[in-house]
């Protein structure tokens, strides 16, 4: 699949951006230099006819991404939460991608529900509305259960979404391979591994049974969290392509005017959404990894309601401690400790200078403190961070990609509620609480108890394990088998025959 045919897909991407008028917006958002703008226009303009036309009624950026497919839409959803990176105009256009995409027909949805649940829609529900929200992978219908009368949300996958998504991911793989080939320095960022991680995450989103399971586990972890609520999953009304859950009444978290009219404190909401995310990531190691405004509501009592659990993140306990120590070091402005944690975790090669790395981190972190959030240039900050990681040979950590991406999204959500929010001040109590509970003396005794518990399970087997290890160590090592010469000879013969045939063809055809 990952062959040169994907060149056409990538050319079509640029051509679609040019044809829909989105190329200029993207270049402006990236603050691209004049030479880059000229090159992109020169490459895309002749191929405009290959680009998708899209829906002329949509804004240019939304029009381009919806025409290109679901993976591009997912990327646009992330950017829609970061007006500080892409500008207010482009962020506003892209916000439509969260839950206001063109729906597929209600008849197709009813047919899918009947096929998946094994009964006609009218026998399951008293009501089944037209779609109330449509996103890149699925759409939602409001319904009422016939047996209980309860209002529910029925989520249905788009027809053919699996095939469309695989086509997009195939092109992304091809682009990553080309980048690695043409730019060896980019290999430290492991673009192919990044795409593989992204593929694994979103392919899980295409099985709604997994989403229902994720929602159930998330609810068990967060049941005691104040100001946070989740709709209940209806397992008997869910399957691979259909999921039914309780209906969530509330105001969209992205509608500031409605929140103000409802008397909600947007500053408090911004702080809470950021602290909830950090608490779930550090305390539980299991977090909602798609926390944009389209997946969050505010209940009449002020609770934040989360839904759409197709993308969930998981990090192990050791990585959580490393991440917390890095955050805590930045909060305390202890850049030496932040640098040491990077070296201890193996994120930076051991042959680099820890003091020099600490000084580089200070240059990244110091501008954040004591400065109005609205005056921080996130673009310049990210650019300098990239230079620092490149200089010190840091590789992309695929296990942290989802965590880092979600942190960017959540920060964008919080800043859309309160542009003056200081993420470090808001994060401090959550991180300090985790540090106190997971790295102090009490945590050490708890870890020792866990270790002893594991050893006790293996106690009866330890003598046999030691005896087998000693026997294997005393056995002579068998010589490695000599490589067979048969297959190389066959390949060489095949190459000779192919070459002779090619030469004969050239000679005969002149």
> According to the model, what pLDDT value does residue 381 have?
53
Give me the number of domains the chain comprises: 2
Extract the tokens encoding 180. 């690695």
Measured CA to CA in angstroms, residue 85 lies from 82, 89, 380 at distances of: 5, 11, 10
Q: Is residue 112 part of a domain?
A: no
> According to the model, what pLDDT value does residue 219 have?
95
Last residue of a domain, one of 61, 80, 97: 97
Determine which one of 290, 303, 334, 418 is catalytic: 290
Helices (H), 30-82: 34-44, 60-68, 70-79
Cα–Cα dist 270/227, whole Å:
12
Q: Is residue 176 part of a domain?
A: no
Q: Is residue 378 part of a domain?
A: yes
> According to the model, what pLDDT value does residue 129 have?
96
Tens digits of per-residue pLDDT, 28-48?
A: 765 666 765 676 676 677 777
> According to the model, what pLDDT value does residue 494 have?
38
Cα–Cα dist 34/279, whole Å:
43
When mean pLDDT is compared across 260-274, 343-357, 444-458, the lowest value belongs to 444-458
When mean pLDDT is compared across 7-16, 123-132, 295-304, 455-464, the lowest value belongs to 455-464
Residue range of the domain that includes 294: 250-462
Is there a catalytic annotation at residue 290?
yes
Q: Is residue 221 part of a domain?
A: no
Measured CA to CA in angstroms, residue 162 lies from 71, 159, 290 at distances of: 11, 8, 19
| pLDDT band at residue 484 using 50, 70 and 90 as cut-offs | very low
Last residue of a domain, one of 97, 119, 139: 97
Last residue of a domain, one of 79, 97, 115: 97
Q: Is residue 205 part of a domain?
A: no
HEC-encoded secondary structure of 409-435: HHHHHHHHHCCCCCHHHHHHHHHHHHH
| pLDDT band at residue 481 using 50, 70 and 90 as cut-offs | low
Tens digits of per-residue pLDDT, 394-414?
A: 765 655 666 777 777 788 888
Q: Is residue 73 part of a domain?
A: yes
């Amino acid at each position: 699949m990952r062959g040169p045919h994907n060149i056409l897909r990538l050319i079509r991407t640029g051509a679609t951006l040019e044809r829909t008028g989105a190329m200029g917006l993207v270049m402006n958002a990236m603050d691209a230099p004049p030479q880059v703008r000229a090159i992109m226009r020169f490459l895309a303009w002749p191929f405009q006819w290959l680009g998708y036309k899209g829906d002329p009624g949509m804004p240019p950026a939304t029009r381009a991404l919806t025409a290109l497919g679901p993976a591009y839409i997912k990327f646009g959803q992330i950017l829609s939460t970061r007006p500080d990176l892409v500008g207010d105009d482009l962020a506003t256009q892209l916000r439509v991608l969260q839950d206001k995409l063109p729906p597929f027909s209600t008849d197709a949805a009813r047919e899918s529900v009947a096929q998946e649940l094994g009964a006609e829609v009218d026998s399951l529900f008293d009501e089944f509305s037209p779609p109330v929200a449509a996103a890149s992978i699925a759409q939602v219908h409001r319904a009422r259960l016939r047996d209980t009368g309860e209002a529910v949300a029925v989520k249905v996958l788009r027809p053919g979404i699996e095939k469309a998504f695989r086509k997009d991911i195939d092109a992304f793989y091809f682009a990553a391979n080309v980048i690695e080939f043409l730019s060896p320095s980019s290999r430290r960022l492991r673009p192919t591994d990044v795409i593989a991680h992204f593929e694994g995450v979103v392919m899980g989103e295409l099985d709604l049974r997994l989403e229902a399971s994720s929602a159930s586990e998330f609810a068990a972890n967060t049941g005691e969290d104040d100001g946070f609520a989740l709709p209940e999953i209806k397992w008997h009304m869910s399957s691979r392509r259909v999921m039914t859950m309780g209906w969530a009444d509330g105001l969209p978290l992205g509608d500031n005017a409605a929140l103000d009219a409802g008397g909600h404190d947007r500053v408090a909401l911004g702080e809470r959404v950021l602290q909830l995310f950090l608490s779930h990531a550090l305390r539980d190691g299991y977090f909602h990894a798609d926390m944009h405004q389209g997946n969050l509501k505010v209940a009449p009592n002020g609770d934040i309601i989360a839904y759409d659990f197709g993308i969930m993140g998981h990090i192990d306990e050791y990585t959580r401690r490393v991440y917390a120590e890095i955050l805590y070091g930045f909060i305390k402005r202890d850049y030496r400790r932040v640098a040491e944690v990077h070296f201890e975790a193996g994120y930076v090669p051991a042959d680099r200078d820890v003091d020099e790395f600490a000084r580089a981190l200070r240059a990244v972190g110091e501008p954040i403190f004591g400065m109005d959030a609205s005056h921080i240039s996130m673009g310049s900050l990210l650019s300098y961070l990239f230079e620092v990681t490149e200089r010190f040979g840091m590789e992309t950590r695929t296990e942290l990609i989802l965590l880092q991406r979600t942190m960017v999204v959540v920060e964008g959500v919080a800043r859309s509620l309160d542009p003056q929010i200081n993420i470090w001040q808001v994060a401090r109590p959550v991180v300090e609480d985790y540090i106190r509970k997971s790295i102090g003396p009490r945590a050490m005794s708890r870890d020792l108890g866990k270790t002893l518990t594991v050893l006790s399970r293996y106690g009866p087997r330890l003598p046999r394990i030691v005896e087998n290890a000693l026997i294997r160590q005393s056995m002579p090592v068998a010589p490695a088998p000599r490589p067979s010469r048969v297959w190389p000879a066959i390949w060489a013969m095949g190459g000779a025959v192919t070459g002779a045939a090619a030469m004969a063809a050239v000679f005969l055809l002149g």
